[in-house]
Chains A and B, each alone.
Chain A
Amino acid sequence: MNAEMEQVLPAEKTPTKSMRQKLARIVPWAGWISLIVLLAIPVLGGSRYLVYIGTLIALQAALAVSLNIVMGYAGQFAMSHAAFYGFGAYVSAILVASYGVNFWVAIPLSMLIAALLAAMVGYPALRNTGGVHLALITFAFGELLRLVASNWHAVTGGPMGMRVMVSPPPLFGLDLSSAKGLYWLAVGMLLLCLLITHIIHRSRFGRGLVAIREDETLASFLGVNVVGYKVAAYVISSMLAAMVGCAYAPFMNFISPELLSAHETISLIGVLILGGIGTVAGPIIGTIIFFGIPEMLRVARLYRLVLLGVIIVLVVLFMPKGVAGVFNDRIARWKRGIS
C-alpha cells in the first residue's frame, strides 16, 4: 500500500495540490470546531438539561484525555484511573467540607496527594515488570481505594456515599458556583488536559513515550529512561484524573464509592479504543460518541454497556486505530493526492 502511495507522489505537482492541501489542513480543525459547537450548545441553548449533559461530557472527555497519556502514548494499562478520579472527588470534598480549605487550594492539594500515591504505586509496579503486572497492581490499588471509601464511615460516609454541598468560590471575579459556572469549570479542565496532551505530543518526552509503547527495549538502548518515563506518564495521568474529580462533587453534590470502581475505567478504555488511542482528538471523539449520543437519546442507563461491547468489537474489527486513526489516515492520503 505504501509503495502505491510512493508512486502517486509525483501527482502532487498538479494544480489540484494546493486545493487538496488546504482542505487537508481544514479537516482536522473541523473536528475541533464540532467539539467547540457541541460544548457551546449548553451555553447558547441554556436549558438546564443541556448544561448538565455538557458538563458531564466535558468531565468524561477530560478523564478520557488524561487516561490517554499513560495508555495511548506510553502504552501502559493503568486500571486505576477512575479510582484517582473518585479519590480527587473525595479528597477535595472532605478538605473543603470538613477542614474548611478553599476550593481552589483543595484542587492542587488533591492533585499533589494523588501524584504522590501514583508514584508510590507506579514505581514498584513499573520498575521491573509493567505490562499485565501494572494492570493487575493498579486494578488492586483502585479496588483498595474503593473499599476504603466504602468502609471508612467516619470520613467518607460509607457505602451509601456522602452528600457534599461544596461550591467553588468566585475565581478572578468569575462566578463558578452556578450550573453554568460548573460547566465552564469542567470545560476549563478539559481544555487544560488537552493542552497538556498537546504539549506532551510534541515534546521529547512524548516521543520517548511513543518509543516505549512501540518497543521498550529498543527505546532504552536509544537512551530513553523507560521506567522514569512510564512512572511520569502514570503520575501525570492520575494527577489529572484527581483534578477532574475535584469538579465532580460540586457538580453532583453527592459522591459514592461507585465512582472509583474499575468498570468506570473500563468504560474509559472503551472510549479510547473507539475514538482512537494515542491521538490528541481521539478521546474527545470517543466521549462524544459513547457518552454524548446515548445521553441525548436517553438510552444511556439501559444500554450503555451493551452498546460499549458492540462498539468495541466493531471498532477493533473494522478500524483498529479508532475513529481518529481513520481520520488521520484519510488526511494523510489526501495530502498525498489519493482521494
Chain B
Amino acid sequence: MMPALRIEGVTQRFGGLVAVRDVNLELPCGEIIGLIGPNGAGKTTLFNAVSGFFRPTEGRIFFDGHDVTGIAPHRLARLGLVRTFQGARVFPKLTVEEGLRTAAHLSLAIASARQPVIRDVMSQLGLERYAHELAGSLPSGMMRVLGIAMAIQTGASMLLLDEPAAGLSAEELTNLQRIIRSVHAAGVTVWVIEHNLHFLMEIVSRAIVLDAGSVIADGTPVEVTRNPLVIEAYLGVQADAVN
C-alpha cells in the first residue's frame, strides 16, 4: 500500500544550525503515529517542513504520491494534508460556527468531491453549545478542539497535530483522546507531536523519536520506551513512570 506520507532525506538548516538532519520516514495510511523528543529536537521544524511552512534545505517530501516539497500550504491543504498549531490557532474574532464554515472552504468549492470525514463536526465534537461564541473566548480545551474541528472540516485525509494536549486538564485530555480516535476511526491518518507521553502512548500505534534533529528510534510505544537510546536522550529518570 502506498504510504500517506514519505519523507526522503529531509534536512533543514538555519544558517549553521542543523534543526533536522537527514530524516527518512514512511507513514502508512490510516494510522495514528506519535512524534516525540526533547525540547529543541526538531519536531516542530520537521512539521513545518512537511506542512509547507518552509522548503526543506535538502530532501523530498511526498504526500499521497505527489511530490509536495516546498509547495504552498493552501495547495497541500487541497491535497488533503492539514496541520494544527501549537497551543490553539483559531480565528479569535469569528464565532465557532463562522470559523468552521470558513474552514470548510475547500469542501465547499464547486468542483470539490471532498467532504469532511465527520459529517457534523460541531455536534460530534461537542462544540454545539459554543456555536455563537467568539472562538477567542472559548476555554482552552475547547479552543484546541475547535482547531482540530477546523482541520477536519477542510476534508483533510491526514492531520498533523502539534502538541494538542499541552496544558489541558485530565478531563479535557480524555475528551481529546476520544476525538483523535474518532477522527482516526473515520479514516484519517494522524501524526501527532506530544510531550505528554501518557496521553500519547495510549492512542498511537507507533512512535517516532527525534533527538538533535535525527530519528533515534521508531517503533511501537513499548519498544520505543524501552530503547536505551531513547531513555538516555529523552526519558531519563522518568522511564519507569512511562512503563
Q: A2-B134, A207-B101, A211-B105 are in contact. Are A224 and B74 (CB under 8 A)?
A: yes
> Could you tell me the distance between the alpha carbons of A223 and B74 in the complex, rounded to whole angstroms?
4
Which of under 10, 10 to 19, 20 to 34, or 35 or more describes the interface residues of A?
Answer: 10 to 19
Residues 125-178 of B at the A interface (beta carbon under 8 Å)? 129, 133-134, 137, 150-151, 154
Determine if B91 and A214 form an interchain contact, defined as CB atoms under 8 angstroms apart: yes
A196 to chain B, nearest CB (A): 19
Determine if A218 and B91 form an interchain contact, defined as CB atoms under 8 angstroms apart: yes
Partner of A204, one of B89, B109, B129, B154: B109
Determine if B108 and A223 form an interchain contact, defined as CB atoms under 8 angstroms apart: no
Q: Cβ of A221: which chain B residues have Cβ within 8 Å of it?
A: 51-52, 73-74, 77, 82-83, 85
> Could you tell me the distance between the alpha carbons of A214 and B101 in the complex, rounded to whole angstroms?
14
A322 at the interface (CB under 8 A from B): no
> Could you tell me the distance between the alpha carbons of A264 and B42 in the complex, rounded to whole angstroms?
50
Residues 92-110 of B at the A interface (beta carbon under 8 Å)? 92-94, 98, 101-103, 105-106, 108-109
Determine if B134 and A207 form an interchain contact, defined as CB atoms under 8 angstroms apart: no
Residues 212-255 of A at the B interface (beta carbon under 8 Å)? 214-215, 217-226
Q: Cβ of B106: which chain A residues have Cβ within 8 Å of it?
A: 222-223
Residues 275-328 of A at the B interface (beta carbon under 8 Å)? none
Determine if A223 and B105 form an interchain contact, defined as CB atoms under 8 angstroms apart: yes
Determine if A225 and B91 form an interchain contact, defined as CB atoms under 8 angstroms apart: no
Q: Cβ of B89: which chain A residues have Cβ within 8 Å of it?
A: 215, 217-218
> Could you tell me the distance between the alpha carbons of A204 and B112 in the complex, rounded to whole angstroms?
13
Determine if B74 and A2 form an interchain contact, defined as CB atoms under 8 angstroms apart: no
Determine if B105 and A6 form an interchain contact, defined as CB atoms under 8 angstroms apart: no
Q: Cβ of B82: which chain A residues have Cβ within 8 Å of it?
A: 221-223
A210 at the interface (CB under 8 A from B): yes
A208 at the interface (CB under 8 A from B): yes
Determine if A223 and B133 form an interchain contact, defined as CB atoms under 8 angstroms apart: no
Which of under 10, 10 to 19, 20 to 34, or 35 or more describes the interface residues of B?
Answer: 20 to 34
By secondary structure, the A interface counts as helix
B5 at the interface (CB under 8 A from A): no
A45 to chain B, nearest CB (A): 42
B184 to chain A, nearest CB (A): 20
B90 at the interface (CB under 8 A from A): yes
Determine if A223 and B102 form an interchain contact, defined as CB atoms under 8 angstroms apart: no
Q: Cβ of A219: which chain B residues have Cβ within 8 Å of it?
A: 102
Among B52, B103, B150, max chain A CB count under 10 A is at B103
Q: A221-B83, A222-B102 are in contact. Are A210 and B74 (CB under 8 A)?
A: no
B94 to chain A, nearest CB (A): 6
Q: Cβ of B74: which chain A residues have Cβ within 8 Å of it?
A: 220-226
Determine if A223 and B77 form an interchain contact, defined as CB atoms under 8 angstroms apart: yes
B78 at the interface (CB under 8 A from A): yes
Determine if A220 and B102 form an interchain contact, defined as CB atoms under 8 angstroms apart: no
Q: Cβ of B150: which chain A residues have Cβ within 8 Å of it?
A: 222
Q: Cβ of A207: which chain B residues have Cβ within 8 Å of it?
A: 98, 101-102, 105
Determine if A222 and B90 form an interchain contact, defined as CB atoms under 8 angstroms apart: no
B185 to chain A, nearest CB (A): 23
Q: Which residue of the partner chain A has the closest CB to B137?
A: A2
Determine if B102 and A211 form an interchain contact, defined as CB atoms under 8 angstroms apart: yes
Partner of B103, one of A2, A222, A226: A222
Determine if B83 and A218 form an interchain contact, defined as CB atoms under 8 angstroms apart: no
> Could you tell me the distance between the alpha carbons of A207 and B104 in the complex, rounded to whole angstroms?
10
14 contacts between A and B (CB under 8 A): A2-B133, A204-B108, A207-B101, A210-B94, A210-B98, A214-B92, A217-B89, A218-B91, A220-B72, A221-B73, A222-B74, A222-B77, A222-B106, A223-B105
The 4 closest A-B pairs by CB, nearest first: A223-B77, A223-B106, A214-B91, A220-B73
For the A-B complex with A210-B94, A220-B72 known, give 20 more contacts whose Cβ atoms are closer than 8 Å.
A2-B134, A2-B137, A204-B108, A207-B105, A210-B102, A211-B91, A211-B102, A214-B91, A215-B91, A218-B85, A218-B91, A219-B102, A221-B51, A222-B74, A222-B77, A222-B82, A222-B102, A223-B77, A223-B82, A223-B105
